[in-house]
Structure 1
């Protein structure tokens, strides 16, 4: 029976064929579930300034709109996978679609920034329950090595295409319909996706699925939340303020408890013994740094294009194309380069390109050179695209085959943890440096602007430039608008140059940790997949 005319069902660890369902339909359905999570993240990044203006949000509020979603997403990926394996992948997939749809409706109806952030947190829960079972469904449908490679290639192509289309779609929605439709558009998509799941995907589960780890789930989420809370409140209230210190202290303490709990678990959510292998550590660092210095720019670049260069949302969406297209095309180039370079060498090359791209963007943003920013985005996207598939391969090739499931979960968690920590850290730099530049420039520009310098600076950093210049005398408005753009650009430049340094330092670490070693013990523990 050909793969085009059958689907597999795994119940209790047994695989049985079910005639009549094409596996390509299963692949496309599961891939669409994964693409939903990327689509939502990148569309929302385009409409953030409109959200800030409509809801009167401060910069910290804007940060939480992104951070609560990624926080719940990253924290729940590992447990969502375990729940899906234990209780049924199709069931959890459908549950994730339902939660995502309800949360999207709530997001679109939100009347305050706080309400929107809570709804986004629920949306992150739904996204985790979309992605984890969808990946498992693909993995358990395709068993032949060649078929599986083709399946993941199609999956990667769909994810890349989503990244290309999402900014343009977000810009069109903001221009034609308003920001609320960035969330309402999910409702018909979720309905169609749920119908496809019911029609094409059979229930499957794993009788040997690991037990849930409630303590691990709680303390990992608490660690991520605490550190994020500290970063967001640090830029808003001061790094020595009570909210910032409480967040950092609670986050670090929770991380310590999490590591202690996992070390004593017979079947932990995170197997710490994997981190005894330097090659594995290097691959995880590469994934985290790729996400924190490259993938996070899918959220930060649209803000700069609108708040720093003054582009309209639709213009900003199209201006993201150099970054998005490079991310789509370069994985193919990476497969060709894999004939000549080892996996660690490709990871180092990708990180160096990411560092160079970030540096080019940061320097161009400081001088407000729009075309040079686009060239930097092309270089950045090339490095990110080169790493996009190679990071997963590097992690999976650094562990024994029987630990592949755990390694895959760590890989995905490292990616989204990197996005969360990268966004929170770099956004804090944007706010601190940008605010300082705006406050200094306000009084040097005009007395009328000096009198309301703090309100002006806070509105610009939040992305609400119309509010920042409203009420100013007509002869001051153009100078204030120019200052708003250059001040935001100063903060963004500092953040992206910091990301460049992170990527370069990570390249050095990865090159050291993943260097060829003659150690037989390590070779046995981590069979290499150099190519």
Structure 2
């Protein structure tokens, strides 16, 4: 079944008015919109310690600043793409900018950590609307040949540059204007983009767009949220608690219902028959490994640099440049590997191996308080991330027929952001657990630190707020005791960060080996894909 939405009968309604912009202007507007999303995704990490100080927030609260946005974003990508096709890409972009703008105001004016996290979730919905509409507009404007290739190259360059400068921009704004302006600065940017969209773009729709799978979207989104909720609260409740078990159990049940629903519905978001192809599964796992083991560095690395090296927000932004700059050079290495070994598998495997090696190197030196050694590991991880940044998407798209590229693109993007938010939960739990054990091991035997310092002491330390955590200790502390405690807390956090990066490194290596095996298994004839569209 296909349904098309007809334009309003009144002539020249603003959303449907013919655009007056050139193709270059349209590309610039769409790329700038996507850059805004990338900037907002990555810029907030540097400000997390400042946010924690403002709200006296725990590590779980800080994790939700990232995770609330990512969960909403990942959950809404597929349905937002369908809505853009049905209602109109230009209309969806304008609506997305409105949601994004209002949510940014909510974030900037938030009075509590809970309010901030709710606003961040709404912002994730707006970001999903913007990304899917912008990508559809680019694809609809540039149809084929060299022009289309150049358009996507420009878009990719914009994404790479934005990813590189995001930590530095976040550090500068946080230190010199305050963390709230990280969100409030989006207001004039969104207003400018609204004017550009209304001026430049012509409305477009897919007349054959299928019905939106609302139930599938809800099942997937709630399952993802419950799983992340369980992971984030593990430091507070423990792995064996009723709260943790019930959330994981509910997430598993909803995920199983999602799979059953997708197999039964005629308008599924995801064609599960794609996963019968080993090469497709390998490509999706490559994307998962890239996002979970490399892109997640953008969340935890600023906390580590500010905690372990006592860097300011600006210094932390500069300190992340080795990772970001290596990501820019990575695609050139990936291109050489692809031309030499003639296949996506070599690029994906090489990228995952570099990511794994870089993470393990950082894990090995994390407690040594030597930034140069950490920077070497960041460069290796960044190269691996750069190698995979474009090739993961290409590898997924290469496994499906042309009429399924939209769905494959949705699977790819959803996998990326689901992997990031899952990694934030898993690695955050490892970080918190290891930090607590290392801190307790550094204290005198029998010292009841929770009674002396407060039960939430380590939660504040993990949020990047060591100074305030010590200042609010229950027991009176002299200057020497404060300095000693700060050193112990900083070293414990570095130990926890090393453990988290060690897990990420091992996962990347295991996924690299798995991808290699799946591509070898997929060398034979591809499994036929049953077209489920009706």
TM-score range, shorter chain: over 0.9
Counterpart in the other structure of 1:396: 397
Measured after TM superposition, the shift of residue 189 of structure 1 is 0.9
Q: Distance in 2 between the 1:116 and 1:291 partners?
A: 25
The question of 1:494 aligning with 2:499 is answered yes
Contact 1:308 1:484 in 2 (8 A): no
Counterpart in the other structure of 1:485: 490
Distance 1:82 1:517, change over 3 A: closer
Counterpart in the other structure of 1:92: 92
The question of 1:427 aligning with 2:432 is answered no
Contact 2:173 2:181 in 1 (8 A): yes
Counterpart in the other structure of 1:163: 163
Measured after TM superposition, the shift of residue 353 of structure 1 is 0.3
Counterpart in the other structure of 2:39: 39
Q: Distance in 1 between the 2:463 and 2:93 partners?
A: 35
Counterpart in the other structure of 1:305: 305
Measured after TM superposition, the shift of residue 449 of structure 1 is 9.2
Q: Distance in 2 between the 1:374 and 1:195 partners?
A: 42
Q: Distance in 2 between the 1:402 and 1:357 partners?
A: 38
Counterpart in the other structure of 2:115: 115
2:426 aligned counterpart, secondary structure: helix
Measured after TM superposition, the shift of residue 516 of structure 1 is 6.7
In the alignment, structure 1 segments of 5+ residues that lack a partner are: 1-9, 527-531
Matches within 5 A, 1:101-112: 101-112=101-112
Q: Distance in 2 between the 1:29 and 1:217 partners?
A: 29
Q: Distance in 1 between the 2:502 and 2:191 partners?
A: 42
Contact 1:220 1:255 in 2 (8 A): yes
Q: Distance in 2 between the 1:106 and 1:447 partners?
A: 40
Q: Distance in 1 between the 2:180 and 2:499 partners?
A: 31
Measured after TM superposition, the shift of residue 445 of structure 1 is 12
Q: Distance in 1 between the 2:201 and 2:119 partners?
A: 28
The question of 1:125 aligning with 2:138 is answered no
Contact 1:293 1:503 in 2 (8 A): yes
Measured after TM superposition, the shift of residue 446 of structure 1 is 8.5
Contact 2:262 2:271 in 1 (8 A): yes
- Aligned alpha-carbon RMSD (Å): 2.2
Q: Distance in 2 between the 1:343 and 1:518 partners?
A: 12
Q: Distance in 2 between the 1:450 and 1:187 partners?
A: 45
Matches within 5 A, 1:254-273: 254-273=254-273
Deviations 1:157-187 (A, max 9, x none): 1011001111111111111111111111111
Measured after TM superposition, the shift of residue 200 of structure 1 is 1.1
Contact 1:338 1:346 in 2 (8 A): yes
Counterpart in the other structure of 2:479: 474
Distance 1:385 1:11, change over 3 A: farther
1:413 aligned counterpart, secondary structure: helix
Counterpart in the other structure of 1:215: 215
Q: Distance in 1 between the 2:253 and 2:18 partners?
A: 50
Measured after TM superposition, the shift of residue 87 of structure 1 is 0.3
Q: Distance in 2 between the 1:272 and 1:144 partners?
A: 29
Measured after TM superposition, the shift of residue 521 of structure 1 is 4.6
- State TM-score, norm by structure 1: 0.93
Measured after TM superposition, the shift of residue 447 of structure 1 is 8.9
Q: Distance in 2 between the 1:242 and 1:188 partners?
A: 46
Contact 2:278 2:521 in 1 (8 A): no
1:506 paired residue among 483, 495, 511: 511
2:111 aligned counterpart, secondary structure: coil
Counterpart in the other structure of 1:6: none
Q: Distance in 1 between the 2:400 and 2:449 partners?
A: 63
Matches within 5 A, 1:282-431: 282-341=282-341, 342-431=343-432
Contact 1:90 1:203 in 2 (8 A): yes
> Where does structure 1 differ by over 4 angstroms across 4 or more consecutive aligned residues?
17-20, 444-450
Contact 1:285 1:506 in 2 (8 A): yes
Q: Distance in 1 between the 2:51 and 2:396 partners?
A: 38
Q: Distance in 2 between the 1:18 and 1:403 partners?
A: 29
Deviations 1:283-307 (A, max 9, x none): 0000011000001111111111112
Q: Distance in 2 between the 1:472 and 1:175 partners?
A: 29
Measured after TM superposition, the shift of residue 43 of structure 1 is 1.3
Counterpart in the other structure of 1:203: 203
Measured after TM superposition, the shift of residue 467 of structure 1 is 1.4
Q: Distance in 1 between the 2:147 and 2:43 partners?
A: 32
Question: Which range moved further: 456-465 or 123-132?
Answer: 456-465
Distance 1:454 1:83, change over 3 A: same
Deviations 1:295-351 (A, max 9, x none): 111111111111222111100000110111111222233223321121110000000
Contact 1:443 1:453 in 2 (8 A): no
Contact 1:449 1:472 in 2 (8 A): no
Q: How many residues align?
A: 514
- State TM-score, norm by structure 2: 0.92
1:520 aligned counterpart, secondary structure: coil
Contact 1:446 1:476 in 2 (8 A): no
Distance 1:182 1:521, change over 3 A: closer
Q: Distance in 2 between the 1:404 and 1:178 partners?
A: 42
1:143 aligned counterpart, secondary structure: coil
Distance 1:518 1:282, change over 3 A: closer
Measured after TM superposition, the shift of residue 242 of structure 1 is 2.5
Q: Distance in 2 between the 1:337 and 1:345 partners?
A: 7
Contact 1:351 1:503 in 2 (8 A): yes
